[in-house]
Amino acid sequence: EDQVTQSPEALRLQEGESSSLNCSYTVSGLRGLFWYRQDPGKGPEFLFTLYSAGEEKEKERLKATLTKKESFLHITAPKPEDSATYLCAVRLRYSSASKIIFGSGTRLSIRP
Amino acid sequence: NAGVTQTPKFQVLKTGQSMTLQCAQDMNHEYMSWYRQDPGMGLRLIHYSVGAGITDQGEVPNGYNVSRSTTEDFPLRLLSAAPSQTSVYFCASSYSTPGLAADTQYFGPGTRLTVL
């Protein structure tokens, strides 16, 4: 069964304390992996798309990496404004447009 | 560009009532989708459309109808609301051509629905 699992469910960090969020996937074939940020009461906001193992993308304090089984979202020296829920989603290869599987997210809280 | 817009932002219904959640996008995207988001669960696809006049079911379609008469609009209809449909609903759109990488989805701000 195709599955996407995010860990941890929640993470509390001190401002400046770097860490990583994990997204592991078990799918029949990967077309692309997406990272989104979601603030309370708002829709998910696109961050990155990764397509193949070894690929990396960066944006400000965020860096996303991809292996054949998982993706990491590394947060370097986070600030309180980085607090949000981070969602990962996988689009399957050899599938219709409908086959995008979302993980349940990691709630990140950064204390000043 | 306004992006993806949704109305209303909040709605309370009684069991058995019907209503339509509105979604519009101004990016000329072909693909549009409706998701629901429940606590502790990932976003789940309700219905989707690959273009005007073409719709299909997603993972959790029961109790919902959609139509796509224009590229811009993709309304979601609740036929007879049930408490199990209490959720936050998101509309998303993307521009995608097979073989191209640009199939990122852009989401609307959501509609928070409560069914009593």
- Per-residue model confidence as pLDDT tens digits over B18-69: 999 999 999 999 889 999 999 888 899 999 998 899 999 988 999 999 999 9
Residue A34 tokens, joined: 């997406």
pLDDT category at A98 given cuts 50, 70, 90 is low
- Identify all chain B residues contacting A39, using CB atoms and an 8 Å cutoff: none
Section A84-103 average pLDDT? 82
Touching check for A51 and chain B: CB below 8 Å? yes
Q: Which of B104, B106, B111 to mutate to test the interface with A (most CBs of A within 10 A)?
A: B104
Calculate how close chain A gets to B29, using CA atoms only, in Å: 13
**What pLDDT score was predicted for residue A101?**
87
Cα nearest neighbour of A52 on chain B = B101
**Whether the predicted pLDDT of B98 surpasses 50:** no
Cα nearest neighbour of A40 on chain B = B109
- Identify all chain B residues contacting A36, using CB atoms and an 8 Å cutoff: 107
Calculate how close chain A gets to B115, using CA atoms only, in Å: 18
Touching check for A47 and chain B: CB below 8 Å? no
Cα nearest neighbour of B108 on chain A = A43
Q: Which of A24, A98, A99, A101 to mutate to test the interface with B (most CBs of B within 10 A)?
A: A98
Long-range contacts of A42-49 (CB under 8 A, 24+ apart): A42/B109, A42/B110, A43/B4, A43/B90, A43/B92, A43/B107, A43/B108, A43/B109, A43/B110, A44/A87, A44/B43, A44/B90, A44/B107, A45/B107, A46/B104, A46/B105, A46/B106, A47/A73, A47/A86, A49/B101, A49/B104
